[in-house]
Structure 1
Amino acid sequence: MSQIEEISPEKVEEMIENEENFTVIDVREDEEVAEGMVPTAKHIPLGNIPDEIDQLSKDEQYVMICRSGRRSMKAAEFMKEKGFTHVKNMDGGMLNWNGELVF
């Protein structure tokens, strides 16, 4: 079982509305992101995470998302292995997201 905390889509939406200090990272592929993203999300496809991880601060809080939550959990686990301590996974991914989308 993973040691990554899961966070509900509703909580993520609330955190965005409250302008809390965190970064949403969407690890889906380009064609998936074209269907809409969570507002404020940064797009880093899963395969690019190893190359782009050095550009991310280990002090920040991150919420990882994908379509269903599986790929984002892999990304979150990878980040934790690399020393990121404030990483959560959005439970159920975009399949459970009922909030606003940006294109």
Structure 2
Amino acid sequence: MKEITVQELKDKLDSGEDFQLIDVREDFEYEMSNLGGTLIPLAGVLIESEKISRDKPVVVMCRSGKRSAVAIGQLEQLGYTNLANLQGGILAWAQEIDPDIQVY
């Protein structure tokens, strides 16, 4: 499974790169803190897979990187080949990029 660091994600965001960010956390987690990605909680990833691009890079994130890895495993079974897991999730983002972001 391909992975990217939070610094690599920040670089993508800062440069305006064309990619999709999918957040597989729950609604309450997303409301507390998010990076502007599309919210598709893990339980709905397969049901809502049509919302996930096949035509450009997709970064999947969660709190720590575990749920996003599960989501990628599910999506790869549907034939997705353009997915990358955000190492450490929003916890790593708070630690390395934005210490002011609210985490739990």
Which 4+ stretches in 1 moved above 4 angstroms?
none
Long gaps (5+) in structure 1: none
Per-residue CA deviations over 1:31-69 (Å, capped at 9, x if unaligned) read: 111111013x11110111111102333222110000010
Measure how far apart 1:80 and its partner are.
1.3
How many residues of Structure 1 are paired with residues of Structure 2 in the alignment? 97
Give the residue type in structure 1 aligned to 2:24.
V
The equivalent residue for 2:33 is: 36
Conserved in 1, the CA contact under 8 Å of 2:20 and 2:53?
no
The alignment's TM-score, normalised by the length of structure 2, stands at 0.86
CA contact (8 A) 1:5 1:87 kept: yes
When normalised by structure 1's length, the TM-score is 0.87
Identity %: 33
Partner of 2:64: 68
Q: Is contact 1:9–1:91 with CA below 8 Å preserved after alignment?
A: yes
- 40, 57, 60: which one aligns with 2:53: 57
CA distance in 2, matches of 1:55, 1:25: 9
SS of the residue 2:45 aligns to: helix
Please say if residues 73 and 89 of structure 1, whose CA atoms lie closer than 8 Å, have aligned partners that are also in contact. Answer: yes
Does 1:83 find its partner at 2:69? Answer: no
Instruction: Note the residue ranges of structure 2 that are not aligned, 5 or more in a row.
Output: none
- Give 2:80's aligned amino acid: F
